[in-house]
Amino acid sequence: MKEYDIAVVGGGPGGYVAAIKAAQLGADVCLVEKEDLGGTCLNRGCIPTKALTASCDVVRNIKGARRFGIKVNDFEIDWSNVAKNKDRKVSQLVKGIEYLIKKNDIDFVSGTASFKEKNLLEISDNDEVSEVKAKNVIIATGSQPRVVPAFNYDGDKVVTSKELLELEELPESLLIIGAGVIGCEFASIFATVGVKITVVDVMSRLLPTEDEEISKNLARAFKRARIKTNLETEIQEIKTDEEGIEAIIGDRDSIEADMALVAIGRKPYTEGLNLDAIGLETANGVIEVNEYLETAVEGIYAIGDVTDEIQLAHVASKQGMVAVENILDEKQEMDYRVVPNTIFTHPEVASVGLNTQEAEEADIEIEVGKFFFKGNGKAVTLNETQGLVKIIMNAKDETILGGHIVGPHASDLIHEIALAIKSGLTVEELTDMIHAHPTLAEAVLEAAEDTMGTAIHG
């Protein structure tokens, strides 16, 4: 039997990147995936939701056409074709990964992997069973939506993001349980296409892990979009019938809707791996790794959501590359200090580094700079003036500690701040660079200048 240098279990953004990186470095690689390449991110997460978001951008532009002097008499949202466009984009990118796997001479095995021994995997694909032998194994099996019994999840009236993305017809109303990233993104999408949205969460604000000022700004945008929010509210039970759902709140109150989306987070997916066979224990499914991404079993590595470090696709991809380099004797620790986070609501939200609350808890003396998009020329021409850029500066050495944005193209703008933090730049070094005019990036410049009280347009 052939023995590979590395076998990667899971073809998501962590797994397929790890496989390609290993092949580029000369390793003999096998990639095992039971479904489509790209994992949850490409097939049931990041990409399909962004395709829907792009369609929603078109809807908003049509609705706001008169502000640009363009008359649009009537238009219709054809959800079935919106969904088909989403599926085409996903298919295109899946084929792209398939091409890359072939280009890099990676052996691809379709099926479900389970450990027989430390260096031996059994692959089951329908009625066929095969084996893969490898000196090292990278586990990249990702995560799955978290549900609780009281919500009576049935995949029909009570759904997760997976089923919601498969909708062929729009509901009239949707209850979203969870005001985190997934819940807020879907709230923006479905509210834009005319679905009545109610968001419920036990926390006191939307996006509770984001900077509080950014969160409040998004809450105002949701209110303008007629998205109802019931915060600090706990759902006791969800009842379903042919007409829809009823969410029971406390002793008397309830919320009715056609459907309910459960968006209360994700949990690591390790089912069927037979980790006991190699003596690898988990804590509620989480595989613990060291700074080199190696598990307690030598030669077995884990990356991505299954490690429960930071559940982001780009973190998984970086982990994949770091794990491969460590396997091939280029020791490198995984660095989580500068990880940009992007949320594709309307307006977009993005952050990196410390927020004001975290800086205060760490007893760091800070200066905060802000610039609102209503003062930015490019934002005004786009009619996208909601939101602001917020920069957190260390008051002692003037280095940049954090950046937070809510507004147009926040997901793109955040990377300038991330690079500044990664490079240890001071505010003066960032502001010394000439920013093109008119651009949204000037808002980052002005926010940085505001930390020193020198913003021109602030």
Which token pair is 255? 């919320």
Is 79 a member of any domain? yes
Burial of 271 (0-12, 13-18, 19+ CB in 10 A): exposed
Q: Return d(Cα 324, Cα 327) in angstroms, integer.
A: 5
Residue 208's pLDDT is 96
Q: What does the pLDDT read at residue 256?
A: 97
Token pair for residue 258? 């056609």
Over residues 391-417, mean pLDDT: 98
The predicted model gives 156-163 an average pLDDT of 97
Helices (H), 193-246: 212-224
| pLDDT band for position 458 (cuts 50, 70, 90) | confident
CA torsion sign, 184 to 189 to 190 to 191? positive
Q: How many CB atoms lie within 10 A of CB 279?
A: 11
335 domain residue, yes or no: no
Q: Is residue 194 part of a domain?
A: yes
Amino acid 338: pLDDT = 98
Which residues make up each annotated binding site for FAD? 50, 141-143
Nearest 5°: the CA angle 47, 50, 55 is 130
Interior CA angle at 93 toward 285 and 193, to 5°?
Answer: 85
Structure tokens at 216: 């409040």
What number of residues does the chain have? 458
Question: For residue 360, what are its two tokens?
Answer: 């205060």
pLDDT tens per residue across span 328-343: 988 899 999 999 999 9
Tokens 């023995």 found at: 3
pLDDT band at 60 (very low <50, low <70, confident <90, very high): very high
Same domain, 36 and 140: yes
- Residues 356 and 340: their CA atoms lie apart, in Å, by 16
Assigned domain for 333 exists: no
Query: Token match 């006791």: residue?
Result: 236
Specify whether 78 is located in the same domain as 25: yes
What value does the mean pLDDT take over residues 125-129? 91
Q: Are residues 35 and 97 in the same domain?
A: yes
Residues 193-205: pLDDT tens digits?
999 999 999 999 9
Q: Of 294, 328, 362, which residue is a domain's last?
A: 328
Same domain as 127, residue 251? no
| Residue 250 scores a pLDDT above 90 | no
* Mean of pLDDT values over 256-276: 97
* 248 lies in some domain: yes
| Residue 195 DSSP SS3 | coil
Opening angle at CA 338, ends 53 and 397, nearest 5 = 125
Residues 302, 439 within the same domain = no
Residues 273 and 132 in one domain: yes
Please give the pLDDT value at position 347: 98
Going by C-alpha positions, the residue among 60, 1, 59 that lies closest to residue 30 is 1
Q: What is the mean pLDDT of residues 167-191?
A: 98
**CA-wise closest residue to 420 among 346, 333, 353, 347:** 353
Distance CA 132, CA 114 (A): 10
Q: Which of 208, 237, 264 lies at the terminal end of a domain, its last residue? A: 264
* Contacts with 279 (C-beta within 8 Å, 6 or more apart), sequence order: 296, 297
Look up tokens 């949701």; give the residue.
222
- Burial call 214-230: b when 16+ CB within 10 Å, e when fewer: bbebbbebbeeeebbbb
For the chain, the 3-state helix, strand and coil shares in percent, each to the nearest 5, are 35, 25, 40
Same domain, 318 and 224: no
Residue 15 belongs to a domain: yes
Domain final residue pick, 242, 264, 286 = 264
Is residue 251's pLDDT more than 80? no
- Asked whether residue 14 falls in the same domain as residue 55, the answer is yes
Contact predicate 291/333, CB 8 Å: yes
CATH code, 406: 3.30.390.30
d(CA 266, CA 271): 14
| Same-domain status, 13 and 137 | yes
Alpha helices in 104-242 (DSSP H): 161-164, 181-192, 212-224
Cis status, amide bond into 171, omega within 30 of 0: no
Q: What is the pLDDT of residue 211?
A: 96
pLDDT of residue 252: 76
For the stretch 191-236, pLDDT in tens is: 999 999 999 999 999 999 999 999 999 999 999 999 999 999 999 9
Expressed as residue numbers, the domain containing 50 is 3-145+267-328
Q: Please tell me the distance from the alpha carbon of residue 311 to that of residue 13, in angstroms, as a whole number.
A: 11
For residue 458, is it within any domain? no
Rounded Cα distance between 206 and 229, Å, is: 9
Percentage, residues of the chain above pLDDT 90 = 96
Name the residues annotated as catalytic.
Answer: 437
Cα→Cα distances 353→171, 310, 339, 365, 372, Å: 38, 13, 7, 15, 20
What is the distance between the alpha carbons of residues 213 and 321, in angstroms, rounded to a whole number? 35
Binding-site residue numbers for NAD(+) are 178-185, 265, 305
The count of domains in the chain is: 3
Whether residues 65 and 102 fall in one domain:
yes
Where is the binding site, in residues? 50, 141-143, 178-185, 265, 305
Residues 260, 271 within the same domain: no
Mean pLDDT of 162-180: 97
